[in-house]
Amino acid sequence: MKKILSVVALGACLSMSSVYADEAKTETKIEMTKQQSGTVINLAGKQRMLTQKMSKEALFMAKGIDTDKNKEALAKTAGLFDKTLKGLIAGDKDLNLPKTDNKEIVAQLEKVIELWKSFKSNIDKVVDGKSDKATLEAIAKENLPLLKNMNQAVGMFAKASGSKLNPEMAKTINLAGKQRMLTQKMTKELLLVANGIDAEGNKANAKKTGELFESTLKDLTDKCKKDDIKKQLGVVAKLWADYKVIIEKVDTSDASLKKAEELNMPLLKEMNNAVKMFESSIK
């Protein structure tokens, strides 16, 4: 009899465990606010830029331009990418990121994690002072798959924002955020030419990236209905007018590379300010 009761008790315990497990799986999800959706799209989009910024910093080091400064920047950029990637999945209070419950998006971010592991190993080599051509070529090869897969995740976040965030606003934040990436991508391509890595291909790429940046900036400005944001986009346009000459000519002279280093970060920062303004305008 005791044996029968023990079996029954065990069965009941297992049954209750199953119920609790099911309840955990079907736990009510906390819906993101419009503001949180904007933050997620913004920071996920910023990851695209960081893939290019890391590549650029590694290539500046390889050319011997402000090596110590770019080494420090590269380590920080890699750390921020890693922290944000983890935060997009598990949540991060410091970054104001909620946990991602969408299984499809998590699966996509896990693809990014795998690509990041390989890319990071080469970035770490450069930080350790190993800027040999094989390492630079690996960075040149691996940065684009990392960028593209991160971009897919951004699109998925924007789509998943659904009715919480106006689709047009989600698209605008995405495009404005993408502009940050383009400031770094064109600089990276300029430096790939300077470092003798697929020079002809990257000359064409730099010009195309510059053209895309300019056309998107015009489109964002033309469609913008807020005077303060439009004014900020004007600040970006003025900086771009100075940098555009280098990119159009793909000028890799020492003087132009030095100027590129001086201009690309202010261009990025002012574009980032515009993105934040778009994000803050969400009501």
Q: Which residue has the tokens 């104001």?
A: 96
- Burial bucket for residue 252 (CB in 10 Å: 0-12, 13-18, 19+): buried
Give the distance, in angstroms, between the CA of residue 219 and the centroid of all CA atoms in the same chain: 21
Judge whether residue 22 has pLDDT over 90: no
Q: For residues 29 and 160, what is the distance between their CA atoms, to the nearest angstrom?
A: 14
pLDDT for res 11? 45
Helix (H) or strand (E) holding 237: helix 227-249
Q: What is the mean pLDDT of residues 84-93?
A: 95
Look at 21 and 76; give whichever has higher pLDDT: 76
Q: Give me the mean pLDDT over the 10-22 stretch.
A: 38
State the alpha helices, DSSP H only, in 30-163: 34-62, 67-90, 103-127, 133-160
Considering the chain, what is the average pLDDT of its residues? 87
Write down the pLDDT at residue 34. 74
Q: Give the pLDDT score at 166.
A: 76
2: enclosing H helix or E strand = helix 2-25
Query: Nearest 10 degrees: CA dihedral of 242, 247, 250, 255?
Result: 30
- CA–CA dist 281, 78 (Å, integer): 29
pLDDT digits (tens, 9 = 90+) for 26-47: 332 335 677 778 888 889 889 9
Domain residue ranges of the chain, discontinuous segments joined by +: 33-280
Give the Cα-Cα-Cα angle 195, 247, 137 (nearest 5 degrees).
Answer: 25
* Nearest residue to 60 via CA among 186, 200, 194, 253: 194
**Per-residue pLDDT for 165 more than 80?**
no
pLDDT, residue 162, reads 63
- Coil, strand or helix: which one is 4? helix
E strand or H helix that includes residue 169: helix 167-194
The answer to whether 75 and 57 are in contact (CB under 8 A) is no
CA 138/CA 238 separation, integer angstroms:
35
Tell me, what's the pLDDT at 29? 39
Neighbours of 40 (CB within 10 A): 26
pLDDT for the residue 170: 80
Terminal CA-to-CA distance of the chain, rounded, Å?
66
Mean pLDDT within 117-146: 94
Write the CB contacts of 55 (distance below 8 Å, at least 6 apart in sequence). Answer: 139, 140, 143, 184, 188
pLDDT (tens digit, 9 = 90+) per residue, 198-240? 999 999 999 999 999 999 999 999 999 999 999 999 999 999 9
